[in-house]
């Protein structure tokens, strides 16, 4: 199963909103074929694994165990059900890490296999499997995207100077890492003041990978059109109170005046099948997510050699658990999880 998870991870960045899935066939104690879900809309892990069995070994399939990191699907999606394939090839035993919470599967794959007489073993390395696909599992189990909060702060816990002018807090290496983080998420969000003061692009130009869909709050459509966010190079959702229309890549979304902007954001992301969101500021927006308890992970960059003095205070986490700390030159990068965020 460890190997299945390694194979699954090879699909990172190419399969969302689908999960990363790996599979392998073992005859006695020998792996005879491996496969993984490589591309959204294309073959599932089980299909690739079975197709990879060398012709001269095919007669062993009906005596082999199939290991797969997610319950085999049982629905016609972009591809036919993997359960039918397993039954057709007479695979006697299937070992699964965890069930698929997707409403069209959700235990029905396991049920179908058992009814067909397949020996099904579940719960093998399920914690690691949940961790690997935490975005997918959060999306389907909690009906909201996986939410990552990110900010950079000075050693005296400020994120900007008091006149809001942009201060470069993190170093060039860290900035590259942040672009990698962006490439791993489906959507990215900032508040209006951050859009105005920092004029961020929110792209992944320092790292290979896809740009996330951008989301910006601009209640009264007062932000200037020349901002990078409005350059139409990337699909961008503009949450506002005035306009509902599409203008190229710029998608104006009208929210009710008093509506909770976080709830609106979540419902839009659900509708569009965007399974994860990274929020990059400012302090007010980040703090709103924290106060609602609506976050899964926080990535806090602290420049130990910078003090801003009079400035904008960094957000304050609640209910956080530190899971990792690393140093990149002067920057200390702390990764927290929400203690209430288990799957």
Active site residues: 46
Does position 139 interact with ligand AOF (CB under 6 A)? The reply is no
184/218 with CB nearer ligand AOF? 184
Q: Edge-to-edge strands of the sheet including 22-27?
A: 30-36, 22-27, 65-70, 93-98, 119-121
d(CA 207, CA 31): 35
- The correct pick among 4, 24, 45, 285 for binding ligand AOF (CB under 6 A) is 45
C-beta of 99: minimal distance to ligand AOF in Å? 10
- The correct pick among 25, 70, 82, 223 for binding Zn ion (CB under 5 A) is 82
How many residues comprise the chain? 343
d(CA 271, CA 260): 17
C-beta of 295: minimal distance to ligand AOF in Å? 24
29/103 with CB nearer ligand AOF? 103
Which helix H or strand E contains 209, and what residues bound it? none
Look up residue 145 and give its DSSP letter. Answer: -
Q: What share of the chain is helix, strand, coil (3-state, %, to 5)?
A: 30, 25, 45
Select from 336, 307, 335, 301 the least CA-distant residue to 173: 301
- The correct pick among 7, 24, 34, 44 for binding ligand AOF (CB under 6 A) is 44
Does position 100 interact with ligand AOF (CB under 6 A)? The reply is yes
Decide which of Zn ion, ligand AOF, none touches 102; Cβ closer than 5 to 8 Å per partner kind. ligand AOF
Which residues partner with 311 through β-bridges?
161
292 Rama sector, left if φ>0, alpha if ψ -120 to 50, beta otherwise: alpha
Integer angstrom CA distances of residue 338 from 135, 143, 324, 341: 14, 17, 13, 5
72/281 with CB nearer ligand AOF? 72
C-beta of 208: minimal distance to ligand AOF in Å? 23
x/- letters, 56..75, toward ligand AOF (CB under 6 A): --------------x-xx--
Residue whose entry in the numeric block shows the structure tokens 């899964």:
296
133/255 with CB nearer ligand AOF? 133
x/- letters, 311..340, toward ligand AOF (CB under 6 A): ------------------------------
* SS3 label, residue 259: coil
Structure tokens at 75: 């629905």
Does position 46 interact with ligand AOF (CB under 6 A)? The reply is yes
Instruction: Give me the sign of the Cα torsion angle 286, 287, 288, 289.
Output: positive
C-beta of 91: minimal distance to Zn ion in Å? 14
- The correct pick among 23, 53, 70, 73 for binding Zn ion (CB under 5 A) is 73
Integer angstrom CA distances of residue 140 from 8, 65, 107, 228, 320: 19, 28, 13, 33, 23
Rounded to the nearest 10 degrees, the angle between the axes of helix 261-271 and helix 283-291 is 80
Does position 295 interact with ligand AOF (CB under 6 A)? The reply is no
Select from 10, 144, 13, 18 the least CA-distant residue to 82: 18
Decide which of Zn ion, ligand AOF, none touches 78; Cβ closer than 5 to 8 Å per partner kind. ligand AOF
x/- letters, 43..72, toward Zn ion (CB under 5 A): -x----------------------------
C-beta of 95: minimal distance to ligand AOF in Å? 14
C-beta of 210: minimal distance to ligand AOF in Å? 18
Does position 77 interact with ligand AOF (CB under 6 A)? The reply is yes
Q: Which residues bind ligand AOF (CB under 6 A)?
A: 18-19, 21, 37, 44-46, 70, 72-73, 77-79, 82, 100, 102, 105
Q: Which residues bind Zn ion (CB under 5 A)?
A: 44, 73, 82
């Amino acid at each position: 199963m460890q190997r299945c998870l390694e194979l699954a991870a090879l699909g990172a960045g190419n399969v969302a909103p689908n999960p990363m899935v790996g599979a392998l066939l073992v005859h006695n104690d020998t792996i005879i074929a491996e496969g993984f879900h490589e591309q959204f809309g294309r073959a599932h892990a089980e299909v690739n694994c079975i197709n990879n069995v060398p012709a001269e070994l095919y007669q062993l399939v009906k005596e082999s165990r199939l290991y797969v990191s997610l319950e085999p699907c049982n629905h016609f999606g972009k591809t036919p059900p993997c359960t039918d394939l397993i039954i057709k090839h007479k695979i006697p035993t299937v070992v699964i890490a965890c069930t698929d919470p997707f409403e069209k599967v959700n235990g029905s794959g396991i049920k179908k296999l058992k009814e067909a007489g397949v020996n099904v073993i579940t719960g093998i390395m399920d914690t690691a499997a949940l961790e690997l696909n935490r975005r997918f599992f959060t999306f389907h189990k909690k009906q909201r995207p996986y939410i990552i909060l990110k900010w950079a702060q000075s050693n005296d816990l400020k994120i900007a100077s008091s006149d809001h002018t942009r201060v470069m807090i993190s170093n060039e290496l860290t900035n590259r890492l942040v672009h990698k983080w962006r490439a791993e998420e489906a959507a990215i969000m900032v508040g209006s003041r951050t859009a105005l003061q920092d004029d961020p692009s929110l792209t992944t130009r320092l790292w290979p990978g896809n740009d996330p869909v951008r989301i910006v709050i601009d209640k009264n459509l007062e932000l200037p059109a020349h901002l990078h966010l409005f350059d139409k190079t990337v699909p961008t959702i503009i949450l506002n109170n005035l306009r509902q229309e599409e203008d190229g890549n710029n998608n104006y979304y009208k929210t009710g005046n008093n509506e909770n902007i976080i709830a609106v954001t979540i419902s839009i992301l659900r509708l569009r099948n965007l399974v994860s969101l990274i929020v990059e500021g400012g302090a007010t927006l980040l703090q709103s997510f924290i106060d609602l308890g609506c976050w899964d992970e926080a990535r806090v960059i602290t420049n130990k050699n910078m003090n801003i003095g009079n400035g904008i205070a960094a957000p304050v986490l609640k209910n956080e658990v530190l899971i990792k700390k690393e140093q990149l030159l002067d920057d200390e990068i702390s990764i927290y999880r929400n203690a209430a965020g288990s799957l």
